[in-house]
Structure 1
Amino acid sequence: MSKLREIQLPTSLKDHLVRGHPWVYRNHVPQSLHLPSGSWAKVRCGGWSGFGLWDESGSIALRIFSEQQLPDAKWLRQQVQAAWELRSPLRAKGCTAYRWLFGEGDGLPGITVDLYGDFAVIQTYMEGATALLDWLVEALRAVHPLKGILLRSRPNELREGDEKTQLLWGKPAPDTIVVQEHRLLFEVDLQTGQKTGLFLDHRENRRLVEELSDDRTVLNCFAYTGAFSLYALRGNACHVTSVDIGKGLSAAAEKNVALNDLETQKHTFVTADCFKLLDDYIQEKRLFDLVILDPPSFAKSKQNRYAALRGYTKLNAMALRCVSPGGLLVTASCTSQVSPEAFKEVIAAAGANSGKRIQIIHEAGHAIDHPVPAQFPEGRYLKFVVGKVRNRG
């Protein structure tokens, strides 16, 4: 084994590292330093030291994995086991789809693993994480019996002709599998679906929507395969309109409705651009008792933050004009560049733009399978707000 490279960091970072923040940006390491991605390094800063994994590209040069030891296969398996035990309440409730590993939240920066029944889907968010895949596959298999382990590439990693997923171990996943969440069934596509098959981070938020939907008309924008809509239907909504522009999503949503023996006549799927459809509904003066907004991320970097804020403000203002007096707006943001406080400011601005006032009656972030370390606020990406909509007095 080659000698471990030592990297000395500016003492200005010491408090940051002592608190346990896992990232070291490239502008804090010597410009002349170049290592192969996936190389371990001993990191020193004042009296602090730790072990980090080097990335040759991207704004984050080092991710700190441990302060106590150089990570090895045994160490990684312990992290996977701890994450497994943390999710035991979900398994006790019969949930068969959840995030098993949430990167920095579970002490494994740059790596996520989603479990769908007997299949695990890995995603990496750093080039160097590929050096850990063999250990990770071994650890996943040791902790829980699996049929297959897949590696899912993110869109920016794909070249023309590349497959979204590749098999790392076991047998390939079927075209679709059925998973359970709070006694509802979902057919998911692990090969080509968005995210890794299902938007797992909204599990508890969907259940809240069920509780709010009784005897209400519901509009679910950016519905994907209808997860929020299923909960609303089970919650005895009068009617649910699901909207998404994606190809094939209408059939997938209707299949999920039928899979759960819900009343198909109470559900309509509209394949359309949500901004355009909301504008049409405003012109038609069409109102709903509950409007759900769960758009894709509007900002991948700080440079897009202000454009994202404008986009969220416009979207929420349009939706508010489609909410019946005394109705509810259920709105979310998965953009890490927008803080919870900034998102609430967006909602307030949207209310002003639409002549409405919003009483926030519920606010949530991440569920148990998306833990956020206290020392890593960047890990808090999900914002979920429910507001009662009132006319301005």
Structure 2
Amino acid sequence: MAKLRELIVPPPLKDRLAQGHPWLYRDKLPKDSHFATGEWLKLRCSNWSGFGLWENKGPIAVRIFSRRQLPDPVWFKAQVRQAWELRGPLRQQNCTAYRWLFGEGDGLPGLTVDLYGQYAVVQTYMEGAQRLLDWLVPALREIAPLQGILWRTKHLENPDDRQALDQKTQRLWGQEPPHEITVKEHGLAFQVNLHTGQKTGLFLDHRENRRFIGPLCQQKTVLNCFAYTGAFSLYALRGGARRVTSVDIGKNLAAVAEANIHLNQLDPSRHDFVTADCFDLLQRYHQTQQTFEVVILDPPSFAKSKQNRFAALRAYTKLNALALQCVAPNGLLVSASCTSQVGPEAFKEMLASAAAQSQRRLQILHEAGQPLDHPVPAGFPEGRYLKFIVCKVSDLV
């Protein structure tokens, strides 16, 4: 094994590193720092030290894995097992789809693992993470009773960018999954397709938010915008919604939503799926004065980088202002964002601006972030990407 090389990190970064931030940005390092992608480095910053993996592309030059030791297969498997044990409550609730590894959140930057029944889907977000696959596959196999492990690459800095284009899925081990498999979540069943890139048919990070919404929809009319395959709509129907309208511009999503409704023996006569642009449809609903007692907004990410942050906030403000015009008096606006560039406080400020534009009064009743299987290190605010807010909407007084 080649001798481990060292990288001397500028002293001003020490406090951030000591707090547990897992990234070293390229523009903060000496300009003569040159290493091979996937090379392990010993990092030193004053009296702080750690071990990280170098990457030649992108703004993040080093992802930090350990303070104590150079990672090896035994160390790596211990981290995977800790993540498995953390998700124990989900298995006890008979949830068969969840994020087993959440990259930086579980101390293994640059990769995630989603579990769908007996199939694990690995995603890597940097080229250097490929060297970890030889450690990851046996660890997954030893800890869980799997039938197959798939791998996707996505070299992006935001691992939850739902608009990202994935490369072709590859089989790392075991059997190829069937075209469709069924997973369970809080008593509901969902069809997922592991061959269709990142969008399997179920966004795992909203599991608890979907469950929270269900009872609030009893005897209500519900508009679910950016519905995808209708997961929020299923919870609303099970919660006793009088009528649910799902809206998404994607092709063939209506058929999948309908299949999920039948799979759960819910009443299809209480559900409509409209294939349309959500901005356009909300505008039409406003013009025709059509309102709903619950409006759900779960759009894709509007910003892939810090440079897009202000454009994203403008888009969120426009979307929420339109939606507020379509909420019946004393109804609920349910607004979410997966844009990591927009923090929780900025998101609430956006809602206040949207309320001012639409001349409505907003009262925040509930606020949530990510669930158990998407943990956020205390020293890594960038990991807190999901915002979910439920507001009561009323006329100005």
Alignment TM class, shorter chain as reference: over 0.9
The one-letter amino acid paired with 2:111 is: I
Q: Does 1:204 align with 2:208?
A: yes
Q: Which range moves more in the overlay, 310-319 or 35-44?
A: 35-44
Q: Does 1:105 align with 2:102?
A: no
Contact in 2 for aligned 1:100/1:113 (Cα 8 Å): yes
Structure 2 alignment gaps of length 5 or more: 158-164
SS of equivalent to 1:146: coil
SS of equivalent to 1:104: helix
Q: Does 1:33 align with 2:37?
A: no
The one-letter amino acid paired with 1:77 is: K
SS of equivalent to 2:303: coil
Partner residue of 1:174 out of 178, 184, 206: 178
The one-letter amino acid paired with 1:352 is: A
**Match of 1:45?**
45
Q: Does 1:292 align with 2:296?
A: yes
**Match of 2:230?**
226
Contact in 2 for aligned 1:121/1:196 (Cα 8 Å): no
Partner residue of 1:383 out of 380, 387, 390: 387
Once the two structures are superposed, the pairs formed by residues 15-94 of structure 1 within 5 Å of their partners are 15-94=15-94
Give the distance between the partners of 1:265 and 1:162, measured in 2 at CA.
36
Identity between Structure 1 and Structure 2 (%): 66
Contact in 2 for aligned 1:42/1:52 (Cα 8 Å): yes
**Match of 1:137?**
137
**Match of 2:317?**
313
Contact in 2 for aligned 1:175/1:190 (Cα 8 Å): yes
Give the distance between the partners of 2:70 and 2:166, measured in 1 at CA.
34
Contact in 1 for aligned 2:362/2:393 (Cα 8 Å): yes
The one-letter amino acid paired with 1:385 is: I
Q: Does 1:243 align with 2:243?
A: no
Q: Does 1:126 align with 2:126?
A: yes
Q: Does 1:337 align with 2:322?
A: no
Provide Cα deviations, 1:287-326, integer angstroms capped at 9, x if missing partner: 0000000000000110000000000000000000000000
Give the distance between the partners of 2:229 and 2:218, measured in 1 at CA.
21
SS of equivalent to 2:265: coil
Give the distance between the partners of 2:253 and 2:85, measured in 1 at CA.
34
Give the distance between the partners of 2:259 and 2:4, measured in 1 at CA.
54
Give the distance between the partners of 1:28 and 1:390, measured in 2 at CA.
48
* Aligned CA distance change for structure 1 residues 376 and 71 (closer, same or farther; 3 Å): same
Give the distance between the partners of 1:253 and 1:229, measured in 2 at CA.
9
**Match of 2:160?**
none
Contact in 1 for aligned 2:124/2:155 (Cα 8 Å): no
1:194 Cα deviation from its structure 2 partner: 4.1
The one-letter amino acid paired with 2:393 is: V
1:196 Cα deviation from its structure 2 partner: 4.5
SS of equivalent to 1:304: helix
Q: Does 1:369 align with 2:373?
A: yes
Give the distance between the partners of 2:198 and 2:326, measured in 1 at CA.
27
**Match of 1:269?**
273
The one-letter amino acid paired with 1:216 is: K
Give the distance between the partners of 1:166 and 1:277, measured in 2 at CA.
38
The one-letter amino acid paired with 2:54 is: W
SS of equivalent to 1:145: coil
Give the distance between the partners of 2:21 and 2:379, measured in 1 at CA.
6
Taking only aligned residues, the RMSD between alpha carbons, in angstroms, comes to 1.4
Number of residue pairs matched by the alignment: 390
1:174 Cα deviation from its structure 2 partner: 1.0
SS of equivalent to 2:308: helix
1:142 Cα deviation from its structure 2 partner: 1.0
Superposition TM-score, scaled by structure 1 size:
0.97
* Aligned CA distance change for structure 1 residues 102 and 163 (closer, same or farther; 3 Å): closer
Provide Cα deviations, 1:322-353, integer angstroms capped at 9, x if missing partner: 00000000000000000100000010100011
* Aligned CA distance change for structure 1 residues 263 and 315 (closer, same or farther; 3 Å): same
Give the distance between the partners of 1:56 and 1:344, measured in 2 at CA.
36
The one-letter amino acid paired with 2:332 is: L
Superposition TM-score, scaled by structure 2 size:
0.96
Q: Does 1:346 align with 2:350?
A: yes
The one-letter amino acid paired with 2:232 is: F
1:25 Cα deviation from its structure 2 partner: 0.4
